[in-house]
Structure 1
């Protein structure tokens, strides 16, 4: 257990937790500028969270433990995922446990917790949002697994640090047909998992189209602050996973303080750039009809399956 490795894990959790609202604010600001508006500023999500935390907690009558535990569980599972994924270094104390199956399971646990909370609220919108969320999750989680599996075949391991270290040593893997197909599949899965356009619109409260917002309509005060923070952290973690697996340049592969500092700066820059690009693309995208979303996600699953097949044949297994 090295000092830089422990510091890398702590820095990953701290940067994701503190930086997630800033990333959300950056994306909102980019959209506002492209739409001809001034925008509220990059720090506005943090001000919103502070305002919500100061309010009195309110729990709807008739809700059970699933509704009350979901916000904390969402933040906790995302924080653990942020500690496992090698954003800054592949040489960490938790690197052995950073299996892609465990990471996807933690993300799925947060999704299931919110869906159960939507059902526990007893409202029509909560049940509708939970049903839609689980339909999307049933297609998204296998896609994330297969997309990363495409790179795990040449690495001969499903351990994320091993996959990232192999990609750093042999960057040609990322430019192969398997790497390009897996990148496209994971990009679509990230859009769906985080509730972004064209799958869901995070800026609307239109009852007939919302998915994520329908599950959390009954939350208020500190519970709503945790839900919002958890959603922002999930977006940061998934964008970071995309950059770490398919653009691993700058990630430290040894116990070096200098390499860790460079990795921190590169991670922030890559995630911010990808978030800004996503926000810019959303200005020109229209939301898909709900019944067309499974077609998009099935297409991304097919791309991930093709990536695994191509990786298998190209690796000569």
Structure 2
């Protein structure tokens, strides 16, 4: 029962709170840059405006272009339900496995890349090619970083990893956790298209990655893509927070425990998002040919974490 209630609460929290997280991050950047900003609720206003508009389908596209936004939202929503964010129990234990969660995230990214190719435009193909180059290094790093945390537990189930970290707080400052945390931070930056890997607020032809794949979307389809992107950011930041700082997560089915779990998740994800937004103010976008070097470095850190998990166990 704890797993079912937790899954429902997590889904509602991610779906409703993801645009607010993006708005808060934009507001942090605006304040640090000396601007007033549009407000935390601006992403919700943009989504409401887009949802009222009719989608436009380019001539010659297949069903892949039309189902990609729905598939992206669906895979992200499943990850939000099965990952232990508010409670230590997973709503669907078999899907709450490390490999299943990473596969779902990769499927969403690959589907969007196929939709970009389906348009037949130069920008769509360019963005899809760049996205596949990034994901080829991001997904193995994500697998290796979390796998390093699973070695002492003896299970790749995310709920088991979070529960183990909760009962053994000394592991938070171990070399394995520190190496895995740094690798995972780089992965999140690349996976969500943030600086210095990608700039989510640009439309310059030579620098676009994610934006190049979604240029042909409009109306409700574009709203779903933007909503799913915000949800993926929230999910990955929540995963980072609970893997390394799981305190506050609910272990019992009581209203107080659930409320504390929700508040803890909101505070941790909000702080991580604010730090990420503040860091972007002082970073410049890397050249495209430098991005694989950064991601290869994070993969090396993840491999070191895996090696250390066996030697230090």
> Taking structure 2 as the reference length, what is the TM-score of the superposition?
0.99
Q: Within 5 Å, which residues of 2 pair with 1:1-317?
A: 2=1, 4-315=2-313
Aligned length: 313
2:51–2:220 Cα contact (<8 Å) kept: yes
Instruction: Provide the C-alpha distance between the structure 2 equivalents of 1:162 and 1:25, rounded to a whole number of angstroms.
Output: 33
Instruction: Provide the C-alpha distance between the structure 1 equivalents of 2:305 and 2:255, rounded to a whole number of angstroms.
Output: 36
User: What is the deviation of 1:174?
Assistant: 1.6
Instruction: Provide the C-alpha distance between the structure 1 equivalents of 2:121 and 2:99, rounded to a whole number of angstroms.
Output: 33
User: What is the deviation of 1:148?
Assistant: 0.4
**2:173 is paired with a residue of what secondary structure?**
coil
User: What is the deviation of 1:260?
Assistant: 1.4
User: What is the deviation of 1:146?
Assistant: 0.6
Instruction: Provide the C-alpha distance between the structure 2 equivalents of 1:5 and 1:308, rounded to a whole number of angstroms.
Output: 29
- Structure 2 unaligned runs (5+)? none
User: What is the deviation of 1:96?
Assistant: 4.2
**Which stretch of the first structure deviates more once superposed, 86-95 or 26-35?**
86-95
Instruction: Provide the C-alpha distance between the structure 2 equivalents of 1:245 and 1:73, rounded to a whole number of angstroms.
Output: 26
**Which stretch of the first structure deviates more once superposed, 248-257 or 51-60?**
248-257
- Structure 1 unaligned runs (5+)? none
**2:152 is paired with a residue of what secondary structure?**
helix
Deviations 1:66-86 (A, max 9, x none): 110100000000000000110
Instruction: Provide the C-alpha distance between the structure 2 equivalents of 1:124 and 1:240, rounded to a whole number of angstroms.
Output: 35
Instruction: Provide the C-alpha distance between the structure 2 equivalents of 1:278 and 1:28, rounded to a whole number of angstroms.
Output: 11
- The alignment yields a C-alpha RMSD, in angstroms, of 0.8
> Taking structure 1 as the reference length, what is the TM-score of the superposition?
0.97
1:70–1:114 Cα contact (<8 Å) kept: yes
Instruction: Provide the C-alpha distance between the structure 2 equivalents of 1:215 and 1:22, rounded to a whole number of angstroms.
Output: 24
2:82–2:95 Cα contact (<8 Å) kept: yes
1:66–1:120 Cα contact (<8 Å) kept: yes
2:22–2:43 Cα contact (<8 Å) kept: yes
2:82–2:91 Cα contact (<8 Å) kept: no
1:181–1:306 Cα contact (<8 Å) kept: yes
1:23–1:272 Cα contact (<8 Å) kept: yes
Deviations 1:83-104 (A, max 9, x none): 0110011124323431000000
User: What is the deviation of 1:253?
Assistant: 2.3
